[in-house]
Structure 1
C-alpha cells in the first residue's frame, strides 16, 4: 500500500500543475501521481489528495464517484476554478465535493485557486453582450474575472498548494 496517492482530473492543465506541486511536497518514495483518466481501479493508499477542475461550483460526477469509493482513509481535496476568486466561493466548492466522502474517512482539508479558462468561454461572454447596461454589468464582471484568471495558477498558487500539502501531513 502507498503512503500517498495524488489523483487529479484536469482539462486545461491547471489542476495537474497543483497536483504536481502537492506530489513534490510529499515525503518518501511510497507515493504516486496519476490522472483519474488513467485509472482502472483505485490504488490503495493511506492518504489521498484528490484534485479536480470545477464545473458549476462542484466536482465532476467521475470525481464524486471516486470519492464515494474511499473508506477509512485520510483525504484532502484540491482544485482550480475559473469563476470566482473568493474564500467563500472556494469553501462552497469544497463542501459540495466533500459530501461524496464517507464519514469514516479523516478529512484533511481543501485548497482551491483560480485557473485559466479556455478562450471559448470569453468569446461566449462577449457574444452575450447586448449594449443594455443593466444586462451587461454581470457579463463585464465575468470578462474581468476571465482576464484575471489567465495567469493562474501562478507561482504563488503553486507555493500555496505545497504549503497546503505540508499542513495536511501535519494533521496525520
Structure 2
C-alpha cells in the first residue's frame, strides 16, 4: 500500500500535523510532500490530505487537487484557528468532501485548532467598542486559546488517527 501525505500549510500548523501523521504511518512505501511541490502527486493508492481552514473550507489549490483524485483511498486532516468544536470540524469536512469524486473511498478526518498570526488578533481588537463588541470578545478569547495549538495532545490524536485509518485502508485493499 503506497501512502502519500500531501498538505498545504499557511502558518506551519498543518505542516507540523502532517509530520506527525507521516511518522505514525506504517513503514510501507510512504512519502510526505507539500502540494505545491509534489512530484507525481496522483501516483499513490492512499492519501492523507492536509489543509488549513480558510473561511470554513480548504484553499482552491486543495479543492482542485481533490477533484483530480480517482479510485483512491482518502482521509483529510487539518488545522483551524476558529473552531475547536466537533460541529465546526464536521461542517468543514463536509464542505471539502463535496469536492472529492465519488469513485474514491473516503475514510474520515482529523482536525485540531491551530494558532493564528497576531494580525488576526489585532483585527479583532479593532472591533472592540463597536456594535460587534461581544463577537470581538469571543474571537479574542478563541485566538488566545488557539495560541497553544497544535498541542502535544493534538499531535497524539493525529498520530492515533493516522494509525487507525491506515489499518482500515489496508484492510480494504
User: What's the TM-score, normalizing by structure 2?
Assistant: 0.94
Aligned to 2:166: 169
User: Hey, what's the Cα distance between the residues in 1 that align with 2:108 and 2:54?
Assistant: 20
Structure 1 residue runs without a partner (length 5+): none
**CA-to-partner distance for each residue in 1:98-127, whole Å, 9 max, x for gaps?**
111010111010000000000000001101
Q: Distance in 1 between matches of 2:114 and 2:22?
A: 19
Distance 1:40 1:158 in 2: 26
What does residue 106 of structure 2 align with?
Answer: 107
Runs (5+) with no aligned partner, structure 2: none
- CA contact 2:3–2:44 (8 Å) conserved in 1: yes
Q: What is the TM-score normalised by the length of structure 1? A: 0.94
Q: Where do 4+ consecutive residues of structure 1 move more than 3 Å?
A: none
* Mapping 1:15-164, distance limit 5 Å: 15-39=14-38, 41-130=40-129, 135-164=132-161
Q: Which moved more, 1:114-123 or 1:34-43?
A: 34-43
How many residue pairs get aligned? The number is: 169
* Partner Cα distance (2:69, 2:12) in 1: 25
CA distance in 2, matches of 1:95, 1:131: 34
